[in-house]
Amino acid sequence: MLIRETAESDLPAILHVHRLAFGQDEEAALTEAILRDPSAQPVVSLLALVDGEPAGHILFSRAGLSSSRSSGLGSSNVEAGPSAALLAPLAVVPAAQSQGIGGALIRRGLEDLSRAGTALVFVLGYPAYYQRHGFQAAGRLGFAAPYPIAERNAEAWMVQMLGDHSPGKGDWQVTCADTLNKPEYWVE
Ligand SMILES: CC(C)(COP(=O)(O)OP(=O)(O)OC[C@H]1O[C@@H](n2cnc3c(N)ncnc32)[C@H](O)[C@@H]1OP(=O)(O)O)[C@@H](O)C(=O)NCCC(=O)NCCS
- Set out the domains of the chain in order of their start, with CATH numbers: 2-186 (3.40.630.30)
pLDDT of residue 164: 76
pLDDT higher than threshold 80 for residue 96: yes
β-pairing, 53-70 vs 84-92, is antiparallel
Task: Determine the distance from the C-alpha atom of residue 45 to the mean position of all C-alpha atoms in its chain, rounded to a whole number.
Answer: 11
pTM: 0.94
Helix (H, G, I), strand (E, B) or coil at 73: coil
93 C-alpha to center of ligand 1: Å?
11
pLDDT of residue 163: 82
Task: Name the residue with higher pLDDT: 147 or 166.
Answer: 147
Rounded to whole angstroms, the Cα distance separating 29 from 57 reads: 14
Which residues, 6 or more positions from 47, have their beta carbon under 8 angstroms from its beta carbon?
Answer: 3, 4, 5, 6, 10, 13, 14, 17, 54, 56, 57
Pocket test for ligand 1, best of 97, 105, 130, 187 (most atoms within 8 A of CB): 97
Question: How does residue 69 score in pLDDT terms, banded at 50, 70 and 90?
Answer: low
